[in-house]
Amino acid sequence: MIKIIRNFLDRLLRKMVNSNYISRWIILCIDLFISAVSITFCYYLEVVLQPEKISFLPNLIVLLISSLAFSLVFFKGFKTHEGIIRFSSYHEAWRILLAVLFANITLLVVGVFAGYNHIAFFFLVFTNLTTLLILLVSFRFFIVWLFRFLALYNVSGNDQRGVVFGTDAESVALARSLITEDSNGTKLVGFITLDSSMSRTRILDLPVYYINSNARHIFEGYKINALIFANQTLLLEQEGRVVKDISNLNVKILLARSPKTWNKQLNKKNQLQKVQIEDLLGRDEIQISMTEICNQLKDKVVLVTGAAGSIGSEIVRQIATFHPQTIILFDSAETPLYTLQLEMDEKFPETHIVAVIGDVRSKNRVEFLFKKFHPQIIYHAAAYKHVPMMEKNPCEAILANVLGTRNIANFAIKFRAEKFVMISTDKAVNPSNVMGASKRIAEIYIHSLAKYLENKQINLKFITTRFGNVLGSNGSVIPRFKEQIENGGPVTVTHPDIIRYFMTIPEACRLVLEASAIGNNGEIYVFDMGKPVKIADLARKMIELAGFVPDKEILIEYTGLRNGEKLYEELLNDKEIVKPTLHEKIMVAKVRTYELREITKVVSELIALSNKVDIIATVTKMKELVPEFKSRNSIFETLDH
């Protein structure tokens, strides 16, 4: 019964003190009621103490009406009712003091002019000023206390006991927010600190737990099952200490979501998220030129090929925020394309979204697409990217990655598009596999086409963007590792020394949009991928995040390099150099140039061989066109001799 009453009070108070229009009027009415109670109390107090001086005081009704009128004017003037009471601070107290002071001074001045200049009237006004101030501040203090009481004690059996790491200003602000807002079922029970001077202190009336040697005894002793970090910097600093100490205690590691990442679909109830492997990479947030991108995309018809894929779908989401006229989603995957359209229609109802089923390899379908919609900006993300799969199916790699690119590019010229942006890969540099070589051939074709059009003075920019692996994309190691961990292991890594450059999907897509906005015709843009990451270390971190001990509870097994795989990837080949751009994370690669006539001939031959499914002839032709293509761990190594 007590819990039901608490739940009812919690819901009622949250509705009452929210900063909406009705609630502001409720607070104003309560303040005026308190004002009426105060002046009435002070009047009768004066009468009781000095009944002989009642003749020197105004009539109670006149006094009450005057006091309420002046209070209303100054309460509204100083906006004492517009703050959210549970977030009250000294700023609200200061406004209340000024409002009460001015209301009573006005009452005093009007009373003196009306002839009530006896000491009894002065005493009455002073008493009312003091009483009213105490009552108004006490009312707000009571609401704050009641919210904290409900937050701390009105907890369901499923709620987890959490502590905030650190006692700095940001951590305390997060704790205060968690106390006053819904906190995703987390009951805040204190703070964790490495500062011995904070031992046995309290913040926000919550204990501060000092950790000296390890954190296990705190979490086990107080049955804490959630550790909350206010920002990613704190998380990274403690990854090797506190986080590692509690890695096998079934403690959730939560990270406060940055307000910059909130949107209209999110609110403060979603401010805590479980730490993902992306949070432990320590990558700085990518800043982009919103104005440049908006100028490029606003009111334009934009085509995204491969729109249902991990990269394509994120590009679509980011493009939609810049208010294009139409976004065309082009993909051959029926179900994910439909799912994406439903998502976009819900989140961006004001944007015209068109989903078109089709294959970039089909010339007729691509021509229909351009003829019907006349896209102005094209993001070409459609491609086969899985290295081992393309090593076994090289003809399909050519048809999808080369023929598909040729089709989209040629019709972009025919229908006078403004910009064509191709998504490439670091595997195109000194390729050791069919997939990387096919993307390099697509790069060569686009680069040659761009230089040819430049001489013809055709106003169409061809831009290529090249980056490494993206975390969580289809076919990446992250989903595979998660599945293996959920199944109890083992987690399979190809080689203990294999390294890869990683970037999150949103930041990769932000850089694609930035490069497309600042890019010049024919340039290949290389992204700063940061420091390379050992895949084995990635696996260990993911196992620890899941609450297990690597090599004990979940084993890591090494299976050997896969077909076409090498230990490390490069972003440039030996004959290429880079030059900086206006964006510190984007560089321009200087690459070899080819004659379009020669490339067109070789590409046509490659496509013809692929259509015949002549595998050996296809790969041989690829190696002729891309001499730096040296197969690794592949049956095609014999073609290199």
Q: What is the b/e burial string over 572-594, where b = at least 16 CB atoms within 10 angstroms of the residue's CB? A: bbeebebeebebebbbbbebeeb
pLDDT of residue 599: 93
At 470, the amino acid letter reads: V
Q: Report how far residue 85's alpha carbon sits from residue 92's, in angstroms, rounded to the nearest whole number.
A: 9
Residues 132 and 206 in one domain: no
CATH number at residue 430: 3.40.50.720
Q: State residue 308's pLDDT score.
A: 93
Q: What is the DSSP string of 247-270?
A: TTTTPEEEEEPPGGG--TT--GGG
> Which tokens is 322 given?
């810049």
Is position 72 within any domain? yes
Q: Sign of the C-alpha dihedral, residues 140, 142, 148, 154? A: negative
User: How many domains are there within the chain?
Assistant: 3
Q: How many residues does the chain have?
A: 641
Structure tokens at 332: 């051959």
**8 Å CB contact between 229 and 165:** yes
612 shares its domain with 506: yes
**Residue 641 falls inside a structural domain:** no
CA angle 124, 127, 130 (to 5 degrees): 150
Domain end (from 135, 153, 171):
153
d(CA 235, CA 229): 6
Strands 252-256 and 272-274: antiparallel
Known catalytic residue at 427:
yes
Per-residue pLDDT tens for 266-291? 444 456 666 666 666 655 656 666 77
Contact yes or no for 327/316 (Cβ under 8 A):
yes
263 and 294 share a domain? no
Cα distances (angstroms) measured from residue 444 to each of 481, 579, 602, 610: 35, 19, 11, 18
Which one-letter amino acid corresponds to residue 377?
I
Domain end among 153, 177, 198? 153
How far apart, in whole angstroms, are the C-alpha atoms of residue 636 and residue 413?
36
Give CA–CA dist 497/494, Å, rounded.
9
- Using an 8 Å Cβ cutoff, are 445 and 409 in contact? yes
Examine the domain organization and report whether 189 and 116 are in the same domain. no
* CA separation for the pair 341, 365 (Å, rounded): 20
266 and 326 housed in the same domain: no
Q: Are residues 546 and 600 in the same domain?
A: yes
CB-side neighbour CA atoms (13 Å) of 21 = 0
Q: Are residues 189 and 306 in the same domain?
A: no
Count of alpha carbons within 13 angstroms of residue 88, beta-carbon side: 25
Instruction: Specify whether the CB–CB gap between 377 and 303 falls below 8 A.
Output: yes
Interaxial angle between packed helices 21-49 and 60-77, expressed in degrees from 0 to 180 and rounded to the nearest 10: 140
Question: Is cis: bond before 506, omega within 30 of 0?
Answer: no
Q: Is residue 284 part of a domain?
A: no
Spatial separation of the C-alpha atoms in residues 158 and 152, rounded to whole Å: 14
The pLDDT mean for the chain works out to: 80
Virtual torsion, Cα 431, 434, 438, 441, nearest 10 deg: 50
Residue type present at position 75:
F
Q: Do both 371 and 513 map to the same domain? A: yes
- With CA atoms as reference, report the closest residue to 107 among 94, 120, 124: 124
Exposed, middle or buried: residue 600 (CB in 10 Å: 0-12, 13-18, 19+)?
middle
Structural domain containing residue 338: 290-635
Q: Is residue 280 part of a domain?
A: no
Catalytic-role residue among 187, 427, 461, 566: 427
Looking at the fold, whether 122 and 138 belong to one and the same domain comes out as: yes
Query: Which sign, positive or negative, has the C-alpha torsion 329, 331, 337, 343?
Result: negative
What is the spatial distance between Cα 296 and Cα 419, in angstroms, rounded to a whole number? 10
Query: Is there a single domain that holds both residue 253 and residue 325?
Result: no
Structure tokens at 297: 């995309």
- Same-domain pairing of 343 and 269: no
CA distance 28 to 51: 33
R_g (Cα) of the chain, nearest Å: 34
Q: Looking at residue 235, what is its pLDDT? A: 77
Q: Which amino acid is at 597?
A: R
Bridge-based pairing state of the strands 499-500 and 533-534:
antiparallel
Torsion sign (Cα): 384, 387, 389, 394: positive
| Burial degree of 457 (CB within 10 A; 0-12, 13-18, 19+) | exposed
What is the Cα–Cα distance from 382 to 523, expressed in whole angstroms?
A: 20
Nearest CA-CA partner of 98 in 65, 133, 124: 133
End residue of a domain, out of 231, 252, 275: 275
Token pair 């406060």 is at which residue? 256
Q: Which residues of the chain have pLDDT under 70?
A: 1-24, 47-48, 50-56, 81-92, 117, 144-159, 180-185, 213-214, 239-240, 247-248, 257-289, 472-475, 564, 569-576
How many C-beta neighbours within 10 Å does residue 100 have? 28
**Statement: the pTM of the whole predicted model exceeds 0.85:** no
530: left (phi over 0), alpha (psi -120 to 50) or beta: left
Query: Do 7 and 115 belong to one domain?
Result: yes
Quick one: tokens of 192?
A: 């964790």
